[in-house]
Structure 1
């Protein structure tokens, strides 16, 4: 969306309030818990790597963990953003089934996700190490996309030993029914949240025609839908799994 500055400035002003409530904070925690509850069973836990088992020096292992923590914070935000934007851009209902009034109007707790993570850094696709060719091919095959690698994988590609080992261990789990269950649970959570949010962003076609310079809004509805209805949801749902492998997942309960 940053490729269309006028669109991004206007759209962010419209959707930002959605993320500032206690109701969203609760959704973000439940999203993570839904994924890990499905994928990290007591009798079949996810792999966990101590820093010495990542194949990285201590500084790199800390950086990896910090950046995965950031993605863990961002994943439910992206899921809600794309569901909200996809609906609004196509004139579908948002906030048509108001939920709990207090949580919908109370601010998000200041302590939640405070000071978690490090600013992500990413490789360009051309800079991904040749030794990752097989891993990258399997990632593409799993998600079913042909374009450039998404951000999470271009971040992981900075640390080939970890990326190779983690994907080899996690990929079979992503192909099981448990991951399909995680996708269904998170889809339901996100959809219910967007149904109930009291904020109705004005980013429909008519709104964009009136408020966004011609050209800046062109094709955005299709681009958002391509992510929301394609491999984007798989990537977001997988992030808590990746973070959990290095103990970088966040809170799983919020009253």
Structure 2
């Protein structure tokens, strides 16, 4: 699988354009993440099948509850023993209009964080014969609809630096984050986004470095992984993604192996710490979403 290939929204047409629109509607964010774009470029028919299998997972009240708990679990752990920074425009050298744009774009990443966490966990387990829906939740919330207003219309469509083009004044922070997460040559979307505002990114990295490198963040990651596992094992709608089913519906061994490797790699490695960091960046600009229990 050539993961440098992507189908961007502007190039998508027909059912592919419709699927992208459905992803944005379901994820409640004006963003089609890289994982969808590269899977569409390499294995479009698999993405069409897989999205139909996993979409119901994100449409229940149980997932809404998870998304709130996921965010709060991470931030609450970090708030114990740390005073997390919260910035105003002048604190990070931005105009009010630039700060509003930054805040709106970071909110989008805060929205997608729990969704990507569950997408990767569900796809990885499903494709590799792991536990998905093995102990289904029997509560009303497990099949009840996702609350209408939660996370709806609070983010802005992210803009990003071209891959490999980092402003000189953003480079020290990018280098530090690359080392911390163990990133390769390609930057995750969040840092290509934040790099557009070097004065913010430099300040945030300076202030957050001790938090991210401390025991509390590792504990937050561990607790968030336990939450993911519990949720995926309890889903009421069990995606049919196991290799036996994929063969039966016509996918080749090459396709199955490629997508197994893709989602396995993204459910570990650098992504393990990148996704839990998203609510933390959102908090610095007051863009984090709901944290208290849903009614």
5+ residue gaps, structure 1, are none
Aligned counterpart, 1:44: 82
Q: Which runs of 4+ in 1 moved over 4 A?
A: 212-218
**Higher RCO (C-alpha under 8 Å, 6+ residues apart):** 1
1:1-255 equivalences under 5 Å are 1-3=39-41, 4-41=43-80, 44-211=82-249, 214=252, 217-253=256-292, 254-255=294-295
Aligned residue for 1:2, secondary structure, equals helix
Residues 200-232 of structure 1: per-residue CA shift (max 9 Å, x gap): 111222333344654655511111111112111
The answer (yes or no) to whether the contact 1:11–1:203 under 8 Å persists in 2 is: yes
Task: Output the CA distance in 2 between the equivalents of 1:195 and 1:246.
Answer: 34
The SS at the match of 1:126 is: coil
Moved more, 198-207 or 102-111: 198-207
Shift of residue 29, structure 1, vs aligned partner: 0.1
Relative to the length of structure 2, the TM-score reads 0.82
Q: Is the 8 A contact 1:22 1:103 kept in 2?
A: yes
Is this contact kept in 1: 2:137–2:235, CA < 8 A? yes
RMSD: 1.5
TM-score normalised per structure 1: 0.94
Cα contact 1:6–1:212 (8 A) shared by 2: no
The whole-number CA distance in structure 1 between the counterparts of 2:283 and 2:138 is 31
Task: Give the conservation status (yes or no) of the 8 Å contact 1:89–1:203.
Answer: yes
Q: Which residue of 1 aligns with 2:20?
A: none
Distance 2:242 2:213 in 1: 36
- State how many pairs are aligned: 254
2:140 & 2:86 partners in 1: Cα distance?
A: 38
